[in-house]
Structure 1
Amino acid sequence: MLSPTLLVIFLLVALASAADYYKILDVHKSATEKEIRTAYKKLSKKFHPDKNKSPDAEDKFVQIARAYEVLSDKTKRPIYDRHGEEGLKAHEGGQQFQQNPFDMFSNFFGGHGHASHQAQRGPSSLTEFEVSLADMYKGSSIDFMIKKRILCDHCRGSGAASDGDIHTCSGCNGAGVRVVKQQIFPGMYAQSQVTCNECQGRGKVIKKVCPHCSGHKVVDHTAHFTLEVTPGMPEGHEVVFEGEADESPDWEAGDVVLRVRSRKENGGFKRKETSLYWKQAISVEEALLGFEKNVTHLDGHILHIVRTGVTQPGLVQQFKGEGMPLFGHDDSHGDLFVEYNVILPLEITPEMRRKLTEAFHTPSSTRDEL
């Protein structure tokens, strides 16, 4: 018989090795049913062995299915929360799965189990997405929303109020087509197959439609996403959210594609590939005598510019390593080009005119002596 100390150690080891279904789905223990469904949808598609060829993909897929089976069940989840995996197994009589994980995936997505990747793919959506140049310079996480259609949570895309409301079509006996005889000549008939008009070729009819989607199988939904803008992301770079487009029981959801560009803004920095451009206004005095300027860069750091002597209008000065980050290279940057524009005063005072005349015109007496 085990001593109390050994028994405690044994129990701690068992608990440590037990599966944490919340951790598997990457959700909090207070997660709602919707959050659990969303997590399963994302992870099951990511690790489905028909798409993910890594050696441990199938094991992870099975774990994800088991976690969803338990946490989405109103009876099993409380038992698991109170007694853990061992208590749940005792409740189930040692039988771990009530259904095949691939069948669960098929029922969830309206697909065909292992062959779900061969299902017709729905349309993808392409959206031009503008962000600030500062976000593309330093990187950012941007939350946004997209309106789309998802499978009805109540009927899971069947369109029926319950499974018992789905019946085999009596018009075609579930075949989806009917054989029609047509007389060509007296005593001569031709047979042809036509789509059954009672079930529209589905082979099933619904006696009572789902009250949540009115039999449409899908409902409107506002989905929340986060766009990760990587420093130096190229203009027009496409970010793909796989399988997040409109859902339907008749196809596999397409992708949401964002084509990312910097927002057009008046003034400020301009971008051309890895280079940045800045126009700096200076006065006539500064153009002639020199100046010091502080320019606040896109990430907030200060670029100190010093010019001595004469600065010609339109002069372009190059600053190495002050341009855009090179995409995928954290420590490398392009160059910054600063163009100087000399701003002339709209009018000058008589005193200023006199001083300018003295500065730029040699006295007549001097010219006579020469």
Structure 2
Amino acid sequence: MTPPFLLACILFLCIALSSAADLYKVLGVHNSASEADIKKAYKKLSKKFHPDRNKEEGAEGKFVEIAHAYEVLSDSTKRQIYDRHGEEGLKAHEGGQRHANPFDMFANFFGGGGFQQQEQVRKGPTSVTEFEVSLADMYTGASIDFMIKKRILCDHCRGSGAASDSDIHKCSGCDGSGVKVTRQQIWPGMFAQSQTTCNECGGRGKVIVRKCPHCGGQKIVDHTAHYTLEVLAGMPEGHEVVFEGEGDESPDWEAGDVVLRVRSKREKGGWRRKESSLYWKENIGVDEALLGFEHNITHLDGHIVTLKRDVVTQPGFVQTMKGEGMPHFHESTHGDLYIEYNVVLPTELSSPMRKKLAEAFHSSRHEKDEL
């Protein structure tokens, strides 16, 4: 755990720096974000940058900065002052008041047990989806917006299922324990005691008198969420992009992850990919196969690649274009492009063309015979 003196220094430094920062940007939310959105952002980011998990340089400072942003934006009064007057106005309002310890704030947020306890919370299922993008997007990189239908905690009751907090009562059947104890005589003077889940409250120890009108007591509602997938240039086939904590929500578990397994669309003809190599089939005529040619093809990012040969090209010949393949992931270099040539024969020949070909090939054979 961080020494108190070092923690105080970090806290003072981060608060001083945050005067130039946008607290909404620190949490990655819009300035119109709801209380639930702010809470969700803090939950995700605080776990990501907690020093017990993240050992990267600067993670602890980021963790403190996130805590400060949440402390301000989760308080309606402080948030209003910040929105109107910024950090300076907030400092004047607080009048030198000490800020909350970010580690205590984290522990309280996750039920008092800190990072170790929240790690043991039951986590919901992870959703894995095959996500197809164009090969051009995997070559250049792109930002792709998409939507996911999922279930979230009801905004009205926040997952309690009750119309209000006063509509949640202690179960009279089990006196709030969630279990019923029964005694059964199995022999004179001898009894067996057993526990069963309370059938009146389902083991929760509480009953709802009036259900939430928004979700009908179901605690969760259907929701369509919007996301952006950042496809990086040269991203490998099957690369997994994880959206942490964006799975189905439930009051019984912490939301799981949404995983997108990114692949390029399979299209007939055109470009093909194998790891960092690209493949292209180019059709040429008989005359071009014999006499040579110069063709231009448009690459995946729009630049022109010139194919030029001045010698005989056999059917199926493969030409290598160095550095014209896929970008290497997280690198500035590229793989190679392989051009396979397909010689296309004419479906029929006119009489003049047949005569010219006969003269060309027969005369060449006659000259060889004379030699």
TM-score where L is the length of structure 1: 0.83
CA distance in 1, matches of 2:90, 2:41: 20
8 A contact 2:152–2:222 mirrored in 1: yes
RMSD between aligned alpha carbons? 3.3
Deviations 1:147-174 (A, max 9, x none): 1112222222222222222222222222
Unaligned 5+ segments in structure 2 are 1-14
2:105 maps to 101
* Residue 86 (str. 1) matches residue 91 (str. 2): yes
8 A contact 2:293–2:309 mirrored in 1: yes
CA distance in 1, matches of 2:213, 2:25: 34
CA distance in 2, matches of 1:334, 1:16: 43
1:163 maps to 165
* Residue 351 (str. 1) matches residue 352 (str. 2): yes
Pick the aligned partner of 1:258 from 257, 260, 265.
260
CA distance in 2, matches of 1:85, 1:365: 100
Q: Which amino acid aligns with 1:245?
A: G
Q: Which amino acid aligns with 2:302?
A: G
CA distance in 2, matches of 1:269, 1:263: 11
Shift in Å, 1:87? 4.4
Shift in Å, 1:190? 0.9
Shift in Å, 1:22? 3.2
2:3 maps to none
CA distance in 2, matches of 1:345, 1:70: 76
Q: Which amino acid aligns with 2:348?
A: E
8 A contact 1:293–1:306 mirrored in 2: yes
CA distance in 1, matches of 2:166, 2:56: 40
**Structure 1 SS opposite 2:249:** coil
| Distance change (3 Å), C-alpha of 1:231 and 1:63 | closer
8 A contact 2:78–2:90 mirrored in 1: no
1:138 maps to 140
| Distance change (3 Å), C-alpha of 1:322 and 1:57 | closer
1:219 maps to 221
1:232 maps to 234
2:339 maps to 338
Shift in Å, 1:291? 0.4
Shift in Å, 1:68? 3.4
The 5 A counterparts of 1:54-203 are: 60-61=62-63, 63-83=65-85, 84-89=89-94, 94=97, 101-102=105-106, 105-106=109-110, 114=115, 115-203=117-205
8 A contact 1:147–1:222 mirrored in 2: yes
CA distance in 1, matches of 2:59, 2:290: 69
**Structure 2 SS opposite 1:191:** strand
Q: Which amino acid aligns with 2:251?
A: P
Q: Which moved more, 1:270-279 or 1:210-219?
A: 210-219
2:331 maps to 329
| Distance change (3 Å), C-alpha of 1:15 and 1:334 | closer
**Structure 2 SS opposite 1:244:** coil
Shift in Å, 1:302? 0.9
CA distance in 2, matches of 1:160, 1:63: 35
| Distance change (3 Å), C-alpha of 1:364 and 1:343 | closer
Q: Which amino acid aligns with 2:344?
A: I
CA distance in 1, matches of 2:270, 2:208: 61
8 A contact 2:46–2:106 mirrored in 1: no
Q: Which amino acid aligns with 1:285?
A: D
| Distance change (3 Å), C-alpha of 1:57 and 1:152 | farther
Q: Which amino acid aligns with 2:91?
A: E
CA distance in 2, matches of 1:178, 1:117: 31
Shift in Å, 1:64? 3.4
| Distance change (3 Å), C-alpha of 1:131 and 1:103 | same
8 A contact 1:18–1:85 mirrored in 2: no
Shift in Å, 1:36? 3.6
CA distance in 2, matches of 1:113, 1:155: 26
TM-score where L is the length of structure 2: 0.83
**Structure 2 SS opposite 1:329:** coil
Shift in Å, 1:241? 1.3
| Distance change (3 Å), C-alpha of 1:335 and 1:131 | same
CA distance in 2, matches of 1:287, 1:366: 23
CA distance in 1, matches of 2:365, 2:202: 104
